[in-house]
Amino acid sequence: MVVPKDETVKRLVRSRGQGRPRSEASRASILRVVLELLGRKSLRDITVEEVAKEAGVAKTTVYRWWDTKAQLAIDAFLNDISIKAPFVEKESVVESIRSQVRSLAFQYKGRDGEIIRQIIAECQGSPEDLAMFRERFLVLRRAAAIETIQRARNEGVLNSDIPDETLIDLIYGPIYYRLMLQHSEIDSAFVESILDFVFKGMEVKTS
């Protein structure tokens, strides 16, 4: 069996480079270059050779830390992004949720949304990459949403036996649907219609 060139490089790196301490300067340079490249072209068109050349490192250095482009893009994105759409305590739990969803939608209309869209698309061919994206990006954010929903239940604001995970999907699923398919804008009217529909169906008390 003929082993692809990139796989050969990865195997050599794993056999020779295990245990070597990371160079934080090189790592930072690689992640910075990936973000810069994502601002100019799609993740699909970016190559590891290109990243290594612009970061001033060897290709084996990149493969020592990341097995795939998707993993590299995930780390670059998470290294750069701050939680720009946190749950901020408002006058009511409902308004906290509304405010967070509005902030997320606004964020996804820009560069961050485009990068996430490309990462999700790239991960579809690899269960391992998709699992990494869920673990590193999605799990913590869903946990924060569940915590807020539980607070709404405890305060008697949310009267519904619908599971928390399903409720999260009802709120955020349409946003990701438009993000991925790009058939229509993620505008404020769209976001408000989602929130109004979901909260009305969930028998939410607004006062």
The yes-or-no verdict on residue 26 having pLDDT over 80 is yes
Rounded distance between C-alpha atoms, residue 137 and residue 54, angstroms: 26
Return the structure tokens found at 179.
């993000």
Chain mean pLDDT for the chain: 85
Q: How many CA atoms lie within 13 A of 183 on its CB side?
A: 6
Enumerate domains of the chain plus CATH numbers: 5-79 (1.10.357.10), 83-201 (1.10.357.10)
Contact, 195 vs 101, CB < 8 A? yes
Confidence tier at 156 by pLDDT (50, 70, 90): confident
Confidence tier at 81 by pLDDT (50, 70, 90): confident
pLDDT digits (tens, 9 = 90+) for 115-137: 999 999 999 999 999 999 999 99
Residue 122, judged by CB atoms within 10 A of its CB (0-12, 13-18, 19+), counts as: buried
Rounded distance between C-alpha atoms, residue 102 and residue 113, angstroms: 14
Which distant-in-sequence residues (6+ apart) come within 8 Å of 114 by Cβ? 38
Contact, 104 vs 175, CB < 8 A? yes
pTM, two decimals, is: 0.80
Task: With CA atoms as reference, report the closest residue to 171 among 152, 154, 183.
Answer: 152
Please report, for residues 154, 162, 173, the alpha-carbon distance to residue 166 in angstroms, rounded to integers and kept in the order given. 18, 7, 10
Return the structure tokens found at 57.
């490192």
